[in-house]
Structure 1
Amino acid sequence: MKLLFPTLLLLSGLVFGQKAVPSDFKKIPEILDNTELLYPFIVPGKKYDYWSVLRNNPDPDKAIIYESQMPQYMTINDPAPEKGFFQKCLGEDCFSYLIACENSRSAYFSNEQQLRDFIGCVDNLPEAILIANTYGYTVDTTNKLAGSYKIEEKNISLYLSKTKNCPLTKESFLIKINRKTGRLEAKSNGIYVKSEDCGVQ
Structure 2
Amino acid sequence: MIKNTFKLILLTFFLLGVLAYSQEKKKFSSIPNILRGIVPNNKTDFWVLVYNTYAKDQEVKVSGTKKEYIPQSSGFNLFPNEDSFYYIAYSSGGKMNYVTDLDGLKTFIGKVDNIEEAAIAATVDGYLVDEEFKDVAGNYYEDASNYYLDLGKLTSKECPYQKKHYTVTINKSTGAITNVKDNGSYIELYNKKCANNPRLLKIEKKEEPKDEPKKSTRSTQRK
**How do 1:17-166 and structure 2 match up within 5 A?**
25-31=23-29, 34-56=30-52, 59=56, 62-68=57-63, 70-71=64-65, 74-80=66-72, 82-86=73-77, 88-89=81-82, 94-140=84-130, 142=133, 144-163=135-154, 164-165=156-157, 166=159
Q: Is the 8 A contact 2:76 2:100 kept in 1?
A: yes
Please give the TM-score of this superposition, normalised by the length of structure 2.
0.61
- Which amino acid counterpart does residue 150 of structure 1 have in structure 2? Y
Distance in 2 of aligned mates of 1:116 and 1:37: 17
Answer yes or no: is the 8 Å Cα contact 1:51–1:98 preserved in 2.
Answer: yes
Unaligned runs of 5+ in 2: 1-19, 198-223
- Match of residue 175, structure 2, among 179, 182, 189: 182
Shift of 1:128: 1.2
TM-score, scaled to structure 1: 0.67
- Structure 1 unaligned segments of length 5 or more: list them: 1-22
Query: What residue identity is the alignment partner of 1:174?
Result: T
Higher relative contact order (CA 8 A, sep 6+): 1
Asked if the contact 1:122–1:178 (Cα under 8 Å) also holds between the matched residues in 2, the reply is no
Match of 1:139, SS? coil
Percent identity over the alignment is 26
Question: Using the alignment, how far apart are the partners of 1:133 and 1:97 within structure 2?
Answer: 15
In structure 2, do the counterparts of structure 1 residues 146 and 101 end up closer, same or farther at CA, with 3 Å as the change threshold?
A: same
C-alpha RMSD of matched pairs (Å): 3.0
